[in-house]
Amino acid sequence: MTGERIRISEIFGPTIQGEGALIGQPTVFVRTGGCDYRCSWCDTLHAVDSAFRDDWQPMTPEAVMMQVELLAGGTPLTVSLSGGNPAIQPLGPLIDLGRREGYRFALETQGSLARDWFADLDVLTLSPKPPSSGMKTDWQKLAECEDAAGPQTKTVLKLVVFDETDYAFARGVAARYPDLPIYLQPGNHTPAPPDAEDAAIDMAGIMARMRWLIDRVTHDRFHTATVLPQLHTLVWGNLRGV
């Protein structure tokens, strides 16, 4: 067994990936605990805020993979490493263990911390946070994340867009990284508490932002962008663990 443990907020699935480059694909999610950001509209506070620290379980890579394999029924699929910011956690041994068993690994991070094991991922999603988040992107660190992934990992960009300022930010990110695929999604203003049974969302507001975002992208001939909803949000609202 490896010595270093991973702080786990939750492991669930199989379900579908709800956003980005792998949208719609069957996936098991490994959500880690802890984050170096505090986005104003965060929809996974149970994996971010230290108030929930006691709910995060320290697990060995072997224990995590045992749970993944149980959920997957022994049939390898994509494992999505999320958070929080999963780059905080020592995930290299888990990725190595899972890949030896035929599992694929995708990870999403805001790009604030580069890890050498990014090169062992199948897909790395860099999601710099727009102005509406209240966070500020360190462009040097984001570039280090791209470099760490290297040529064998498929690296893509994904940005949440709430308003014109966020949209302008997304255009700027696309200009910085013209060779990376970029995915845009309308933001969700109404995160439910982690233990909420009522996971209703402002569907009308989200769909209005979706239509507005489509109009902006097509009007501006921003043809390199792929505009997608958060599919899981449309299906399940903000319900946790789906």
| Number of domains into which the chain is organized | 1
pLDDT at 239: 63
DSSP 172-205: HHHHH-TTS-EEEEE----PPPTT-S-----HHH
d(CA 175, CA 25): 28
In whole angstroms, how large is the CA radius of gyration of the chain?
17
Q: Which residues is 205 bridged to in the sheet?
A: none
Residue 238, pLDDT score? 65
Report yes or no on 61 lying in a domain: yes
Residue 172 lies in a domain: yes
Low-confidence ranges of the chain (pLDDT < 70): 1-3, 189-200, 234-242
Q: What pLDDT is recorded for position 11? A: 97
Give the DSSP letter string of the chain. Answer: --S--EEEEEEEEEEE--SGGGTT-EEEEEEEP--S---TT-S-GGGT-GGGGGGPEEE-HHHHHHHHHHHHTT---EEEEESS-GGGS--HHHHHHHHHTT-EEEEEE-SSS--GGGGG-SEEEE-PPPGGGT----HHHHHHHHHHHTTTSEEEEEEEE-SHHHHHHHHHHHHH-TTS-EEEEE----PPPTT-S-----HHHHHHHHHHHHHHHHHTT-TTEEE---HHHHHHTT-TT-
Position 198 scores a pLDDT of 46
Provide the pLDDT for residue 185.
Answer: 94
Summarised one tens digit per residue, pLDDT across range 158-215 is 999 999 999 999 999 999 999 999 999 998 765 545 455 445 677 788 889 999 999 9
Residues of the domain holding 102: 6-236
Residue 242 lies in a domain: no
| CATH code for the domain of 104 | 3.20.20.70
207 in a structural domain: yes
Question: 1 lies in a domain?
Answer: no
What is residue 241's predicted lDDT score, i.e. its pLDDT? Answer: 62
Residue 82 falls within a domain, yes or no?
yes
Q: Judge whether 28 lies within some domain.
A: yes
